[in-house]
Chains A and B, each alone.
Chain A
Amino acid sequence: MPRIVFVDAEGKSTEVQAEEGQSVMSAAVQNGIDAIAAECGGSCACGTCHCYIDGAWADRLPSPDYQEQDMLDCVVNPEERSRLSCQITVSDALDGLVVHLPAGQY
Chain B
Amino acid sequence: MAETLSTQSRVEAAFAPLSPDFARDPYPTYKALRDKGGLHYFEDFDIWLASRFEDVSAIVMDKRMVRSLEDIATSEEIAAIQRAGNWHDMPHHSRFVQFSLLDSDGAVHDRLRKQVFKLFTPAMIAKLRDQIQAYVDRLIDSLADRGQIDFVDDLAAHVPGHIIGRLLGVPDEDCPQLRIWSENIVQFFDVDRSDERKRIAETNTTEFYEYLTALKHERERSPKDDLISVLIEAERAGAMSSDEFISTCMLILMAGHGSTIDVLGSGMHALLRFPEQMARLRRDPALIQTAVQEMFRYESPLPFFHRHCIEEVEIGGRNFARGTKFGLLYGAANRDPKQFENADTFDIGRTPNRHLAFGGGVHFCLGNHLARLDMDIIFSTLLRRFPTIELVDEKPEYKRGLSVRGPKRLQIAIKPT
- State the A residues within 8 Å of B (CB): 29, 32, 34, 37-47, 67, 70-71, 73-76, 105-106
- State the B residues within 8 Å of A (CB): 57, 60-61, 110, 113-114, 117-118, 121-123, 126, 351-352, 354, 358, 360-364, 368-369
* CB-based nearest A residue for B289: A106
Check A67–B110 contact: CB distance below 8 A: yes
A46 to B372, CA, bound (A): 15
Check A43–B360 contact: CB distance below 8 A: yes
A46 to B57, CA, bound (A): 15
* CB-based nearest B residue for A46: B364
A106 to B351, CA, bound (A): 15
Check A34–B122 contact: CB distance below 8 A: no
A45 to B57, CA, bound (A): 15
A67 to B107, CA, bound (A): 12
Contacts of A46 on B, CB cut-off 8 Å? 364
Check B61–A43 contact: CB distance below 8 A: yes
Check A41–B121 contact: CB distance below 8 A: no
Contacts of A75 on B, CB cut-off 8 Å? 121
Contacts of B57 on A, CB cut-off 8 Å? 41
Check B354–A76 contact: CB distance below 8 A: no
Check A38–B118 contact: CB distance below 8 A: no
Check A73–B118 contact: CB distance below 8 A: yes
Interface residues of B: mostly helix, strand, loop or mixed?
helix
Check B352–A40 contact: CB distance below 8 A: no
* CB-based nearest A residue for B121: A74
Count chain B CB atoms within 10 A of each CB in A38, A73, A106 and give the residue with the most: A106
- List the 6 closest A-B pairs by CB distance, nearest first: A40-B364, A41-B360, A106-B122, A74-B121, A45-B364, A43-B361
Count chain A CB atoms within 10 A of each CB in B113, B114, B121, B368 and give the residue with the most: B121
* CB-based nearest A residue for B61: A41
Subset of 15 A-B contacts with CB under 8 Å: A34-B351, A39-B360, A39-B364, A40-B361, A43-B360, A43-B361, A45-B113, A45-B361, A46-B364, A70-B117, A73-B118, A74-B117, A74-B118, A74-B121, A76-B122
Contacts of B358 on A, CB cut-off 8 Å? 39
Check A39–B368 contact: CB distance below 8 A: yes
B59: shortest Cβ distance to chain A, in Å? 11
Contacts of A105 on B, CB cut-off 8 Å? 122
Check A39–B354 contact: CB distance below 8 A: yes
Check A43–B364 contact: CB distance below 8 A: yes
A37 to B352, CA, bound (A): 8
